[in-house]
């Protein structure tokens, strides 16, 4: 990739990651939530891969760690759902609700958003890496 693309990438990748985290954390207040935030976080890593090549991106987040992160996200979501059994029902909102429009409110919804963000972000990144590795191994 040319010098212009590499410079702009170096400047904006961190901001894209930060924007994705903002969308995830404010999922119960503004539109967004776990899935779009996870996609944007995955996009920041894919942006790094497109501009600098596969090895730079894999040095930041290699395949083993992404795979573990994905499974951890899924197990966290299921754990939150099962721990609703403590309150009596599966998937019950058992944490205190708080008052509306605050950042720490709405019970289990922010925790679920974070779990989904891990799973979707790591999953999309792994899909992209798998497709790139496949096409690389086929060209040889």
- Give residues in contact with another protein (CB under 8 A): 30-31, 35, 67-68, 71-72, 74-75, 78, 81-82, 84, 87-93, 100-101, 127, 130-131, 134-135, 138
Nearer to another protein, 4 or 101 (CB): 101
Cα distances from 102 to residues 26, 29, 115, in angstroms, run: 10, 8, 20
What is the CB neighbour count within 10 angstroms for residue 33? Answer: 20
Q: How far is the CB of 35 from another protein (least distance, A)?
A: 6
Nearer to another protein, 52 or 70 (CB): 70
Nearer to another protein, 38 or 52 (CB): 38
Q: How far is the CB of 71 from another protein (least distance, A)?
A: 4
Buried b (16+ CB within 10 A) or exposed e, 117-136: bbbbbbbbbbebbeebeeee
Q: How far is the CB of 38 from another protein (least distance, A)?
A: 10
Cα distances from 16 to residues 36, 85, 91, in angstroms, run: 13, 37, 32
Nearer to another protein, 3 or 88 (CB): 88
The pair of three-digit structure tokens given for residue 51, joined into one six-digit string: 């501009």
Q: How far is the CB of 58 from another protein (least distance, A)?
A: 17
Q: How far is the CB of 138 from another protein (least distance, A)?
A: 5
Round to whole Å and give the CA distance between 34 and 57. 23
Positive or negative CA dihedral for 84, 123, 26, 18? Answer: positive
Nearer to another protein, 9 or 71 (CB): 71
């Amino acid at each position: 990739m040319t010098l212009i693309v590499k410079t702009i990438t170096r400047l904006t990748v961190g901001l894209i990651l930060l924007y994705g985290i903002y969308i995830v954390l404010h999922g119960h207040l503004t539109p967004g939530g776990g899935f779009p935030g996870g996609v944007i976080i995955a996009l920041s890593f894919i942006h790094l891969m497109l501009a600098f090549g596969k090895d730079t991106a894999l040095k930041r987040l290699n395949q083993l760690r992404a795979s573990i992160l994905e499974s951890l996200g899924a197990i966290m979501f299921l754990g939150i759902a099962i721990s609703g059994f403590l309150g009596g029902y599966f998937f019950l909102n058992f944490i205190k609700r708080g008052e509306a429009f605050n950042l720490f409110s709405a019970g289990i919804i922010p925790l679920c958003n974070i779990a989904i963000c891990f799973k979707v972000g790591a999953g999309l990144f792994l899909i992209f890496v798998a497709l790139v590795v496949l096409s690389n191994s086929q060209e040889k």
